[in-house]
Amino acid sequence: MDIMSIIGPTMAIGLIVFGFLIEGGHIGALLQFTAAMIVFGGAFGAMFVACPLADVIFSFKGIGIWLKNSSFNPDEIIADIIDLAQTARKESILALEKKREAIKFEPLKKAIRLAVDGTDPNIIKSTLETEQEITFEEQEVAAKFWEDIGGICPTIGILGAVLGLIHVMENLDKPDRIGPGIAVAFVATLYGVGAANVLFIPIGKKIKRKAKLESHARTMVLIGVEGILSGLNPKIIQEKLSIFSHSHGASEE
């Protein structure tokens, strides 16, 4: 679990509400079902118009990327690659088969399987590069979905406020209803701006960052496997990969 994905929204929403209460507000004023229905129903409805069903489903699955720590660790990948390089140098490429099942990072495991099967190095490289590109593009779809809905929400919030003010205008002959009516109208704007900046846009940005980190990990595999198949000294491979060591965003285990 990525603890910051829990702490962040909890801190933001908690302190915003706490500040509102300190100023004399009350929770009931913030809880408006119709405002939530207008803002979130309108925003998600707009995104459903903009995106194919497959993208929508994948974007909701992307919440798992936001909530979970990365399933890989750069230092572990480097250690695995160096161990494989030493084994291949001392024995042979075929000797890597016995180490394959112990590898945690799936792209590296796949690359070693292709190498042991005698696949041409150019085909291995092409396969890994294509997989890297497609995976990154798919994760970017999820990131853009949440960033886009964050861009739409404030506008729908304003729409909700306008609808509320229309209702207020219809009751100008009832002064006692004007103040509460205006307050309710602006709750929609609060929901739109708040959800966009506290949840949706940050969710998109974190998914994008984690996608980039995974792309870096796949680049490590490309460099490592290419070095192994070329018979490079493990120390040279390690030097090439050292730039990725201790990168920000590595998983915590």
How far apart are the C-alpha atoms of 81 and 191, rounded to whole Å?
A: 48
Number of domains present in the structure of the chain: 1
How far apart are the C-alpha atoms of 127 and 142, rounded to whole Å?
A: 23
Position 252 scores a pLDDT of 42
Cα torsion angle, 76, 77, 80, 83, sign: negative
How far apart are the C-alpha atoms of 15 and 23, rounded to whole Å?
A: 12
Instruction: Give pLDDT tens digits for 153-199.
Output: 999 999 988 888 887 887 777 777 777 678 777 899 999 999 999 99
Residue scoring higher pLDDT (96 or 178): 96
Q: Quote the percentage of the chain above a pLDDT of 90.
A: 48
Position 246 scores a pLDDT of 61
Whether 249 is in a domain gets the answer: no
Whether 106 is in a domain gets the answer: no
At residue 140 the predicted structure's pLDDT band, cuts being 50, 70 and 90, is very high
The position carrying tokens 């708040």 is 194
Position 46 scores a pLDDT of 94
Q: Please calculate the CA angle 216-219-224 and round it to the nearest 5 degrees.
A: 130
Position 100 scores a pLDDT of 84
Domain of 180?
3-74+120-244
Q: Quote the percentage of the chain above a pLDDT of 70.
A: 96
Instruction: Give pLDDT tens digits for 116-128.
Output: 888 888 999 999 9
pLDDT at 45 over 80: yes
Whether 253 is in a domain gets the answer: no
- 68, 3 in Cβ contact below 8 A? no
Whether 232 is in a domain gets the answer: yes
Q: Stretch 34-60: mean pLDDT, rounded?
A: 93
- 115, 93 in Cβ contact below 8 A? yes
Mean pLDDT computed over every residue of the chain:
87
Burial class (CB in 10 A: 0-12, 13-18, 19+), 144: middle
